[in-house]
Structure 1
Amino acid sequence: MTRTNAQVHLSLQTKLSFIVTLIMALALASNISIDYLNSLKTTEEAGFKKLDTQFAIFEQFTERSTELFEQELNQIPVELYLKTPRSSGLPKALSVNPNISELRILDFNGKELRVWQSANSTSAPKVLQQQLINKVRLEPKPASRIFCESQCYQTSFTPVIADSGRPYIVNGIRDLSPVLLAFNTLTNSDAALGNSPSRLFIATNAGRTKSLINELEKKTAFFHSDAPVYTNTSQGTTVAASRPLNDTLSHSALQLVLLFDDRDAQASIQSSLKNSLVSAGVALLLTVLMTYLALRRALLKLVNLSNAIPMLSDSSYDRLRDSLAKYTKQTRYNDEIDQLNYTVLDVADALEEMEGSVATHRQELLHTIAELKETQEFNNALVNDSPLVIAAFRLNGQMIQLNDYGRKLAGWEKSDVENRSVVDLILPDPIGHTILDNLKPLISGRETRAQSEQLIRNEKGSVSYLTWIHAKVATRSEPMILSVGLDVTERRRTENRLRWLSKHDAITDLLNREAFHTEATQLIEQYRDTHTIELMMFDIDKFSSYNDMYGFQHGDNMLRETARFIERLIACHTIIGRTGTNEFSALLIIDEDDTTTAEKDKVFRVDGHALRFYSALENDAIEVNITAVVARHQEDGETVDDMLSNCAATLRALKPIDRGKVNYISSQVDNRAARQEKVQMHDSIVKALAEDRFVLYFQPIYNLDRNRITHCECLVRMQTEDGRILAPVSFLDIAKASGLMPRIDYLVLKMALMQLRVWADNNIHLKLSVNITADTFESDRFIKQLQQLLTDTGANSGQLIFEVVETEAINNLENAKALCKKLDALDVQIAFDDFGIGFTSFEYLRDLPVDFIKIDQSFIRYIYKRKSDQLLVKSMVDMAQALGKKVIAEGVEDQGSAELLREMGVHYLQGYYISKPCKASRLDLNYTLPTI
């Protein structure tokens, strides 16, 4: 709402003048008030000081009067008075000093010899008389005390030595009124003696003094208080105090009250106050006048500016400049308001210029606001719908908050949370430590973050596995622990499934090649000295033709039927595994003493018809023929690899007439042939290394997020002397067995880095993924060789990715950790190859600093058709994303698989659907996937 035309009801000049006046008035009033209060305080202190002086004067005056009274008694001619007849009347001392109302002469033992009393005489109490007589006898000097009955008197016992030398005691009693009157005359202060305000025995100006004391007592209760009072009374400003009379003067507890009128001092203060107020008023008027004159021109400029500024909202820039012109022409003596005038002119220029671009930016701003709103809504949905358990609790474990997902898992109501402990939510770990035990370093401040994997059990007893991240959060009230838990229950189930799959073939449920190799090695080691050990290898004849003719689904079904057929065919004392695409192997452990003839026949005398069965199609059945090869373990040094290699070589060498039968290997001939084949391949590898006949093929890896090829995998090939290209399966096993892999790895790495440099020189920024075997990866020289190659080739290490077979790396976890850290320092990335086929614990992947995982193609190749593969791959992708790893899917061969993998959240695709491996010159780096 605009207010630029609002009417000014009170000008700034008036407001400033009022404020200055108010401030000055407050300052002057404060100063006068302080002076006035200080004067009152000073006057009061002076009154109290004067009162203290008068108490001292009273004591001195009374003591001096007592001394004179005692001297007067000492001068009495005792023996002369004793000789005077009793009828002769009052002695001279009583007649001369009318204040003496009683005179007695006693011998030194206190016996009364003669008494003279006036008409209004009052005797001292007997007890007091005896005390004073004893005191005089004990110490021959005068003893006097004041006592009060209806009036106040002073009695004095004075020792006297008569002319005859005989000692006497003279006792005199006098009225105390003359002493108080004399004090009043001397100090102009009233005095009174009494036990209480209602029982005053004697007072100067008795009527006025007693009335004033009663008034003060009602007002301040000062009579039995040592504190003096300074207050206004009905008779003026009174200063008064009540103090106990000195014990040397008084017989009983008497209060001495002294008071005087201090109205003259108050009048002086009031006069000073009046003068100060007059002076302050004059000063205030002069200040206001000077302020008004000093601010007048400046305020006129400010008023003009306030009238001009609203013109900005109307875009009346020329009128504004004219309005300010008369105050901006002169540049001398400029002040802040002049600077403000210039600033307003600058603002007007800027606004005038800005209005030209406002319309253009308005649409951009609206578009940006819409995007921000969309982003905010997305973020809110992401946080609110995130399937995470979020818990906050105090350092003692008391729960503060638990989100909806956490309460759902725990089975808690919202009202239950604050009455629970985090120990009720998160179960102890396997060794019995509670979550609070595990978080002690975090709670104490030794750590800033903690991670754990612990369970939640709900009220019904079901358990959920969660991976927790804990952090200590400082709030204004108190520190607390914030815990975020990811539900990994499904991951645990998948992990158990993967553990099984790591040892078994997913299609046939038999042992896979690696697990078969491991278990067979153990069995040979255990039984080679006591049993007969034979390896049977089965091969499905024309399996590739069946696949091509009937499809992969029927091919998988045929593999399963073959597995069951072999299990029925072979005796129970064995292990069976799928060791190739259409290849099955069984290790037979035969005890010649215990094996029955029937069992031997079943194992060894399988005729040709026994190696056939029918595989069912939808409306038909086809005959499946199987060829078998049997090799007996003969030598102590013969390994499972040797036996498998011998059987495979024998299968390849079989003539058509020998297919569909059981073929027994002659150990003397066939083993020698297999070894000769290995020796020839070893020599070929060595010669190829010497003659640089290893070449690189490249298979593109497609980035789904960026919709283009971002890196390639290097695949090594060996060229024979006659120009044929051999795939790695033909020579890598022999190279590994003969220790040649480090040389091949080094050569491949060198060629890969040289290719990176060629691409960089041609402005092609592509990453290369290089396979490294465990022997090379764990070599002490590996890092130094890599650094030297990077220096020699000039390649960028940030473009390099090493692929390590997952099982090899995990079997050497500590070495893998150390090497990964060194490679990270070189900006080299790491990928786990063949992920999922040999994995024993997902915790290893969590701990190793790898960047990519490559899901083995056995899970990917038929994923579009197999529901089980879909579930497993989805679990692996979710797990990898939770750990911050990028996922590459190998073996993608059709569009349906590509679509499915994109939906699952896979980041990269690799396979024949993208491109077959080829030389660098044949790569199509501009390839993009069809729209999905």
Structure 2
Amino acid sequence: MDNCSVFIIDDEGITTLQLEHALEGVGDITTSTNSYEAVALLEKVKPDILILDLEMPKVSGFDILETIQKKPSLANIRTIVITSHSAPAIEERALSLGAIDFISKPLNLILCRIRIENHIKIIIQEKALLQAQTELFTEKEHLRITLDSIADAVISTDINANIEYMNPVAQRLTGWSETAAKGRHIKEVMQLADATTKVSSINPLVVALNENRPVAMALNTQLTSKQGIIHRVEDSAAPILDKNKNQCGAVMVFQDVSETFAMSLQMTYLSHHDQLTALPNRVLLHDRITQSIARASYKKTKVTLMLLDLDKFKFINDALGHHIGDEIIAHIGHSLDRFACNDVTVARVGGDEFALVIPHSANSLSLEPLVNEVLNVISKPFRSGGEQHILTASLGISVYPDDASSVEEMLRHADSAMYKAKNEPANSYFYFSDELQIEMNRRLEVGNILRKALEENDLELHYQPKYDLNNDSLIGVESLVRLKDGQGGFISPVHFIEYAEEAGLIFRLGEQVLEKSCIAAKKWLDKGLPIKVAVNVSAKQFTDTKLVGTVAEILERTQLPSRYLELEVTESALIESFEYTVSQLKLISEMGVSIALDDFGTGYSSLSYLRLFPLDVLKIDQSFVRDMNDDVQALNIVTTIIDLACTLNLQIVAEGIETKGQQDRLRALGCQMGQGYLLSKPLNCGKFEELIMSSKVEQVTCS
């Protein structure tokens, strides 16, 4: 039994002793025989149970009962009176003053203990109940504060979906106060609808009650508040069950996802659109083509994909700066966007490449008017960066299902057709065809052969001799790379050099050719045959920051003196990155390596550029040599180039000499050196060594 306190007041000491003995063990016992001091002691002790004798002189038990009634601090004391009277009036008065039980004199101590123990049990139960009520209130208050503080909206209802509670967030989102909403059906307070169709939606709490299970809110749901404010909301509802698993209500928890939804839309937009032009990007383009193919397959219609690439945009971008390049791309995107209608998609694929997806009927007229309109729009002059620009483009076309059966095929085929158009005059366009497929397969095969040859260091070099036209002595050699086709023949450099530049393999190819050429020249030198070897360097190789280091490293590794190496560059390589190229060539020239300008006269560099480069040799392009005896203009060009070389103190080499008449004319014009089929075809290493062993070799001198 939990400890309770008992206070006994009786002016007869024997009675207090008897009661104290009888109640031993039931609680803390305090006694008093002085009724004067009783009230003061009561306020000090504040017992759970007071045993009070009614018949005491001077201050009676009735007086003490009246005093207790007047003091709120003593209101919870349970008073049991002792009396020898059994008159109803005595009992009535005692009960009216707050007594709850009676003990009769003479005392029956056993009954007395039983009565007190029963009252103590009641007190213990009351205390336990009070404790439980306090804890329940504390927990309820904690839950209330928690629900009022969380970011989610919470609504609880009874079993009929009538609202019993709403936290502040729910009140804010619905526009209803808890007081106004209480007792109303949740459908009246929560106006839910599909955000797209605006059709009213059933409240998930109602479903949760009807089906007795948790229910998630339908996707794409909006809540319209009492004031007409719309929120995008999501979450769930669940029934509330009592201890017997019977429904006693339901709870709805939801949240405002308007900002999250808006951010998601923005992120989705950004992930599917190009930031510069606001056009669909490659990801969305792929999806649009997929959808168009699906519709075309179902309707037995067609889809055309046009890929277009701006001509020479890189040159404009590098020359004028990326900010001007961005303005140009934005302008083109805006110009092409006019075609984006009637299911036509215009997209920016990346860089300066754009795409159009055009659904059309199986029996549609030719798309050429649209193609021409697209190219004309791009060609319209416009101003940017204070300058007027006139752009052109190359366009490739693939048609589903004529030449492609999937998105990937359409993109690949259109790209191949565009690549073909790139090699034609400006504003050219090509449809993908069987011939292009064959060419594409051939390029793929060439690529595989080239990669394998590079991995196995299996490139072969042929050497075309260069002769002094005055005394027919061998003065040098140009190394020409050859790629074996695996069937005893060779693949034309036109095909694999082009592929190497596109695939980024030109750097490895150039390094291997340079090393093989230096090894061969060192081998001849060691045999007493000092031959200068000329190696072609492509424009792409000049973009490699390691070019100078590579040349120096190979010379060091092969132990070839630098005066026996010559690098041949084209005009396009010289002007593509002018200042950087000049600095690279100067460093190479300072090593003692000579520089030759190949195919001179066919490019578009100005003569003012020519004097800025550390050149040693000019090579006259074979097209002028071939026509000079039949074309006065070609002859004048050759004469001018020879005179220019003399003026600039440069050596001159004529390429492509095929007839005796050409050789004689060049010699008469003062051309020092020449090469061509008349003098010697390119030879493999073995045959070239046989040639130089039997030829007069002119010593290499520093220029």
Q: TM-score, normalised by structure 2?
A: 0.40
Greater C-alpha Rg: 1
Name the TM-score, length of structure 1 as normaliser. Answer: 0.31
